Amino acid sequence: MIEVRGFTKAYGERTAVRDLTFSVGTGEIVGLLGPNGAGKTTTLRSLAGILRPSAGTLSVGGFDVVRQPLEAKRRLALVPDDPPLFTSLTVWEHLVLTAQLYDLAGWEDRAGALLADLELSTRRDDLADELSRGMRQKLCVACALLHEPGALLLDEPLTGLDPRGIRTLYTALRRQAAAGAAVVVSSHLLAQIEALCTRFLVLREGRLLLDGSKPEIAARLPALRGDVSLEEIFFEVTEGPQEHEAS
């Protein structure tokens, strides 16, 4: 569903992402990990068609994000780290706008179910600027899921969510993946996403260091014990010698 091949993004003389290659299949929930400046947000924004790659190709559902942007964007949704909501629209009006933008028909029942799943039904008529940070995040997720995207990209989606909100979000993401979506989650909250993701991509300074499930990655790090945590893997890979490289 998601294909990235030789992706490079440069800003002038600074290269944010260099020769990145990976794929995400239907039903996968992939964690995109790395310290600040590793290239995570740049990768997600480029997949969403917001940034243009300097080199390489990115495709969603078989459609090239640069050459076939409308077809690619119809099949994806991006939940950014700072939800770009309209302060003068209510929760329900955001869903109405989303349905109009994607030219959806018969969407109302699905919208109501999403609000119920994400515990927003009682805030349906509230303006966006009356919502807490966590509720705004959940509204952005509801809008992203409304058109049933084949690829779902989330950049730091846990910001502002309480434990119940995190559990609610995870239930929605697992349901989306079970329905066939490819999900990519970027987060610094390693302990929170460890059990959610089926696979992890670890970036440092714009390069892909490791790609695999937690046991697969741990097996490539002999310095760590067998029951290693995702946090220990992260520090070993991102702060140790730059000798790890994805195969």
- Say if residue 219's pLDDT is above 50: yes
Q: What is the pLDDT of residue 241?
A: 60
One-letter identity of residue 3: E
What is the fold of 2-239?
Rossmann fold (3.40.50)
Domains of the chain by residue range: 2-239
- Say if residue 108's pLDDT is above 80: yes
Tens digits of per-residue pLDDT, 177-196? 999 999 999 998 898 899 89
Q: What is the pLDDT of residue 42?
A: 97
> For strand 29-33 and strand 182-186, is the pairing parallel, antiparallel, or unpaired?
parallel
DSSP assignments along 215-237, one per residue: HHHHHT-TTS-TT--HHHHHHHH
Reading the block at residue 138, the tokens are 């959940």
Tens digits of per-residue pLDDT, 18-52? 999 999 999 999 999 999 999 999 999 999 999 99
Reading the block at residue 239, the tokens are 């702060």
Reading the block at residue 167, the tokens are 């559990």
Q: Determine the average pLDDT of the residues in 129-149.
A: 94
> For strand 199-204 and strand 207-212, is the pairing parallel, antiparallel, or unpaired?
antiparallel
What confidence category does residue 201 fall into, taking pLDDT thresholds of 50, 70 and 90?
A: very high
Q: Taking the chain, what is the end-to-end CA distance rounded to the nearest angstrom? A: 20
Burial per residue of 203-221, b for 16 or more beta-carbon CB atoms within 10 angstroms, e otherwise: bbbbbbbbbbebeebbebb
Q: Are 31 and 199 in contact (CB under 8 A)?
A: yes
Q: What is the pLDDT of residue 73?
A: 94
Q: Are 186 and 46 in contact (CB under 8 A)?
A: no
CA 81 from centroid of its chain's CA atoms? 10
